[in-house]
Amino acid sequence: MNTETAAGRFGRFGGRYVPETLVPALMELEEAYAAARADPTFDEEVARVLREFVGRPTTLTPARRLTESWGGAHVWLKREDLAHTGAHKINNTVGQVLLAKRMGKQRIIAETGAGQHGVATATACALFGLPCEVYMGALDVERQALNVFRMRALGAVVRPVESGSRTLKDAMNEAMRTWVSQVSDTHYVIGSAAGPHPYPTVVRDFQAIIGKELRTQAQAAFGKLPDAIVACVGGGSNAIGVLHPFIGDASVRLIGVEAGGHGLDSGQHGASLTLGSEGVLHGSRSLVLQDGDGQIQEAHSISAGLDYPGVGPELAHLAKTGRMEVRTATDDEALAAFYEVARMEGILPALETSHAFARGKELARELGVGKYLVINCSGRGDKDVATISARGVPPAVGVKA
Amino acid sequence: MSGEIAKAFARAKARGEGALVAYAMAGDPDLARSVEVFTALVEGGADIVEVGVAFSDPIADGPVIQGASERALKAGSTLKRVLEEVVPEVRRRCPETPLVIMTYVNVIMAMGEERFAKLARERGVSGAILPDLPPEESGALRATFDAAGVDLIPLCAPTTPRARAEAIAKDARGFVYCVSVAGVTGMRAELPPDLSQRLDLVRNASPVPVVAGFGISSAEQARTLSAHADGVVVGSAIVRAAHADGPQAAKALCAEIKRGLKR
C-alpha cells in the first residue's frame, strides 16, 4: 500500500523545499531512481550485495526471557543489529551508492549525527570505490571519536561543522550547502527518510527490506503477521523501513517511539511527532520542533540518532492520520532498557533501539498473552558504551535494570 | 504587482544606471542599529533594499550571512519585530525605496502566509524572496501574495535548464533573481564565464527586470554584469562591511558598486 498521495507528497507533508540550484539534480535523481527500479538488474545487484556483503536476511529472534518477564505478548526481535556495520543504515547506503554509480556520479557526500550513517556510507564507498566526504557536527566529532576513526579508516574524509548547534541538523545544512556547489558530479546520500523529494521515497524503499523480510519470517515463525510492530523514531528510516510493508494490514498495530529526552515538559527532547508543528526543515514539509517564530529548536536525546528536531514526512502523515501510534521514552527509560535487554537477552542494543525496548513491556501487556509483538532491533550498542559508561557503573547483577 | 519595484528600476534606467539591490540583515547587530544600516544603503545609492530576516537553518547562505543570522537571532530578531520595528522606520526615512523581505519559507509559514502578506503590505513591503521555495512549491503562496499586492520574486540558478529558466522568467513578479554561481551566498573572486549568456536568455524571456546575485562584491564585477542585467544584488560584502566597520562602510561600498553600474 502506498501512502504517497501525489509525487513526493504524503498528505500535507513532503515536497521539495530547496534552492533552485538543487531542483534539477533532484529531478535527475527522481528519474534515475525510477529507471533503476524499472531495471531488474538493479534490484538484483542490490539484493546480491545485501546478501553477500551485508549479511541479509537478518534474523527474527524470539526474546524468550523478555516475553516471560513482561508477562504479555510473545516478543520477537528483528535483528538489524546483525547487519554489517551494526545497524540498518547500510541497507540504504548500499542502494544509494549503487544508484550514484549508475548515474555516473564521481563522489559521495553524506551527513551524520552519531556516525552510524557516516560509517555505513563510508563502507559502501569503500566497497564500490568512490571518494566519500562526511559532514558531522563538531560537537558530535568530539563525542563520537570511535565512529570518526571508523570513517577515516574506511577512507572517508570527515568534515567537522562548526555552525549553529554543531550537531546533526547543522551537518545536514552544511552537506546541502556543499551539494549546491558541487551538484553536477556529486551524489548526496541522505541517511534518514527525510529531506526533499525523492529522498523520503528512496530511503524508505531501500529500508523496506526490513519489513518485507519480517512478513515472510513472521509467517514461518508463528504462522501469521505480528499483532504489533514497534520501532524507534528519529528521522525515521528504520521505522518506515520495518512498518511500511504493513501499512495496508489493518490487523497490525504500528508504533513509533520518539526520544522523550529529559521529559516532554523539559523542552529537551526529540519528540517532533508528539510535540512538533508543521514546518519546513531540510527540504520537506513535516512536523518539526520550532518556536512560534519558525526558528528550529535544538533537540535533545541521550541517543545521537534520535537527537533531531524533524522527522520524515511519511511518518508525519502516518502519525497524523492515526495509522501509526506514537509514544515516547525518556533518556533514563532508554538506559534502563539497555541494561534490561543486555541481561535478559544477551544483546547490547543501540541507545536509539533502547527507546523502542523501553515501551516493550507496556505494549506486550496491552496486547496480552498469545499475541505477537515485534521490536525492530535497529542497531547494536557498542558505539554507545562510552556514553553509557560515563553515566556510571552498570547496575549490580541481580537487579534487572 | 506592487509597482514600486518597476518604478525603482525605471528611475535607475532613466539615470543611465543599472539598479543596485542591496541586502543587509535586520537585527544585526540589533534591530535599531540595523535601521541605520538600511538607511545607509539607500544613502549610498541602493535602488532596492533587501531586508534579511534571520532563520536558524539558512541552507542557501554562506558563512558571512550565517554569522549575521546568528547575531540577529541572539539580538531577538523575529519576522514580526522586523515588520513592526524595522520596516516602518526605513520606509519613513526612505519613502521611495522599495523593500523586499528575504527569508526562508518556514519563517513565513510560522507567521501564516496570509497574515504575513497583509501585514507586509500594510507596513510598506513590496516583495519577498524565499530561496528555499522553488516554483513547484510556490503556487498557493504566490496567489496569496498576489492578492495582497506583494511580489514573490523567483530565483533562477546556473543549473536551471533553458526551458525551465524561460518559464520562471515569463511568470515572474517584481524581478528575476539570477543566481550567478552554483553555491551559497558569499563573495567570489571570479564569476562563471557563461553567466552573461544565461542573463541574456532570462532577460529575453522576462517581462520584468533581471538582476544577478550571489558572489558579487566589487564595482568591476557590477560593471561587467550590468551589460547583461538590469541590476545586481550585493549581500555578503555589505553584511561584512556593516559588521566590521558600521553603516558608513556599507554606504561607501554601495556608492562604489553604484559607480560600476553607471553606463
Nearest residue of A to residue B185 by CA position?
A177
Instruction: Look at A123 and B190; give whichever has higher pLDDT.
Output: A123
A-chain residues within 8 Å CB-CB of B155? Answer: 19-20
Q: Residue B259 — very low, low, confident or very high, per pLDDT cuts 50/70/90?
A: very high
Q: What percent of chain A is predicted at pLDDT more than 90?
A: 91
pLDDT at A144: 87
Q: What are the tens digits of pLDDT across the range A51-65?
A: 999 999 999 999 999
A270, A316 Cβ separation under 8 angstroms: no
The pLDDT assigned to B246 comes to 98
Mean pLDDT of chain A: 96
In this prediction, residue B257 has a pLDDT band, given cuts at 50, 70 and 90, of: very high
- pLDDT tens-digit readout, A151-161: 999 999 999 99
Q: What are the catalytic residues of A?
A: 89, 111, 378
Q: Is the pLDDT of residue B2 over 70?
A: no
pLDDT at A23: 96
The reported pTM is 0.96
What was the pLDDT predicted at B147?
98
Res A2: pLDDT = 65
Over residues A7-30, the pLDDT tens digits come to: 899 999 999 999 999 999 999 999
**Pick among A280, A281, A286 to test the B interface (most B CBs inside 10 A):** A280
Q: Is B109 on the interface with A (CB under 8 A)?
A: yes
**SS3 (DSSP) at B196:** helix
Alpha-carbon gap: B15 to the closest alpha carbon of chain A (Å):
33
- Residue A173: list chain B partners with CB under 8 A: 57-59
Q: What mean pLDDT is predicted for residues B147-153?
A: 98
- The more confidently predicted of residues A263 and A305 is A263
Q: How many CB pairs under 8 A join A and B?
A: 121
Q: Are A122 and A84 in contact (CB under 8 A)?
A: no
pLDDT tens digits for range A316-330? 999 999 999 999 999
* Beta carbons of A183 and B182 less than 8 Å apart: yes
Predicted confidence (pLDDT) at residue A399 exceeds the cutoff of 60: no
Residue B101 three-state SS? strand
Question: What was the pLDDT predicted at A194?
Answer: 96
What is the ipTM, given to two decimal places?
A: 0.96
Q: Please compute the mean of the pLDDT values over residues B212-221 and round it to a whole number.
A: 95
Side-chain-side CA neighbours of residue B121 (13 Å):
17
- Write out pLDDT tens, residues A67-110: 999 999 999 999 999 999 999 999 999 999 999 999 999 999 99
Average pLDDT for residues A257-261, to the nearest whole number?
A: 98
Note whether B110 contacts A294, CB cutoff 8 Å. Answer: yes
Q: pLDDT tens for residues B59-109?
A: 999 999 999 999 999 999 999 999 999 999 999 999 999 999 999 999 999
